[in-house]
Amino acid sequence: MHQGRHFLQIPGPSPVPDRILRAMDMPVIDHRSAEFGELGRAVLEGSQKIFQTSGPVVIFPSSVTGAWEAAIVNTLSPGDRVLMVETGHFATLWRQMAGRFGIEVDFIPGDWRRGADPAQIEAKLAADSARAIKAVMVVHNETSTGATSRIADIRAAIDRAGHPALLMVDTISSLGSVDYRHDEWKVDVSVSCSQKGFMLPPGLGFNAVSEKARAASKTNRMPRSYFDWEEMLKPNAKGFFPYTPATNLLYGLREAIAMLLEEGLDNVFARHQRLAAATRAAVNHWGLEVLCQEPAEFSPVLTAVLMPPGHDADQFRKVVLDNYNMSLGSGLSKVAGKVFRIGHLGECNALTLLGALTGVEMGLSVAGVPHRSGGVEVAMKLLEQRTPGNSSPHLKAVST
């Protein structure tokens, strides 16, 4: 028997704030009514602000897997070649999906401990004299590893190579938590979802679309129906959808957008940076190792922690859950049983994080994992260093 609220410290779905739960607690609305049109316009326009784009954002009633599929089927044709990077579990899954659609994937191998290397991408594109590569597909924040790829640098690498490939970015666990600029970084398709930085339950998939990507969608040969951008964009002009939308999730989305804009995106990003830095400080003090090895790519959204040899991460997670009613993220695929992941995204604040780190430190003791006590105090001291904008003068922003 556990008392109190469960600590959900996985890197998504993130906890849903009470304010958003109340916003969704509404009778189902007529999705053909004028009232719904106002809601539809509000969330479509509000989503543009979060993606930082003036172009269209398409919202599907789907999991993020559907949004991945939409990005592929609207821009590519069977037999097309794309360039992807093995940054972790989710980059691998996106690659597998592309292969199922007959896409030829040039997959740059990686060690799951850093983001995509812009220099490698530039070299691949420069060598593509026939311009056969149709798209570069990158995961911005790899949720399985805690490494954030530098999208602005990747955009610059594509430009230096003078290559016309589309830039398609998975922002599933970064949007609304990590600085992301669809227009400024000349991204063609940004893919995201509802259950991470938007702080909603799962059920909405997003595609932010450039004019270049939209032009590609009018000439590619991939069949699609449910995920057709043009079929969505026609009724979207008046706030409507071509089929029944996830109405009550859209109420929640409107509230989530309001919360992010009220705090201010820069403050949201700075808050995530502070929480991530405090988490890493605790991990380092414990004598454990952060999975991501490149400081410029440390994720503001989660921290993946390597277990010492001879200790199983999943058994440790069970100890924490059984004793302290807290869920930590599991290791996935290649790092299953080797790492646990601490989520610090969404509504998370300093006190929430300190509670989570306390649960981890107590769990390390109960599970008999070798560590040095006092990591929570180190994190607390760092979080005491408050400055305007909810950031810390000692923290350096992640280069994205």
Helix (H, G, I), strand (E, B) or coil at 342: strand
Distance of alpha carbon 304 from alpha carbon 34, whole angstroms = 46
Residue 43 maps to which CATH number?
3.40.640.10
Same domain, 333 and 231: no
Residue 328 maps to which CATH number?
3.90.1150.10
Same domain, 213 and 303: no
- Does any domain span residue 397? no
Same domain, 282 and 338: yes
Residue range of the domain that includes 69: 18-261
Domain count for the chain: 2
Same domain, 85 and 201: yes
- Does any domain span residue 388? no
- Does any domain span residue 147? yes
Same domain, 232 and 324: no
Same domain, 77 and 209: yes
Is the Cβ–Cβ distance between 251 and 200 less than 8 Å? no
Termini Cα distance of the chain: 43
Q: What pLDDT score was predicted for residue 302?
A: 98
Q: What pLDDT score was predicted for residue 3?
A: 86
Which helix (H) or strand (E) segment is 38 a member of? Answer: helix 34-51
Please give the backbone phi and psi of residue 109, each rounded to the nearest 5 degrees, phi first: -70, 150
Q: What pLDDT score was predicted for residue 389?
A: 42
Same domain, 182 and 305: no
Q: What pLDDT score was predicted for residue 152?
A: 98
Q: What pLDDT score was predicted for residue 190?
A: 98
Same domain, 137 and 253: yes
Question: pLDDT averaged over consecutive 10-residue blocks of the chain (400 residues)?
Answer: 91 97 97 98 98 98 97 98 98 98 98 98 98 98 98 98 98 98 98 98 98 98 97 98 97 98 98 98 98 98 98 98 98 98 97 98 98 98 72 34
Same domain, 351 and 269: yes
Q: What is the DSSP string of 182-226?
A: TTTTT-SEEEEESSSTT---S--EEEEE-HHHHHHHTT-----ST
Domain end position, chosen among 213, 237, 261? 261
What pTM, to 2 d.p., does this model score?
A: 0.94
Q: What pLDDT score was predicted for residue 2?
A: 85
Same domain, 311 and 351: yes
Domain end position, chosen among 200, 233, 261? 261
Tens digit of each residue's pLDDT (9 = 90 or more) over 304-316: 999 999 999 999 9
Same domain, 227 and 102: yes
Annotated binding site for substrate: 341
Same domain, 98 and 218: yes
Annotated binding site: 341
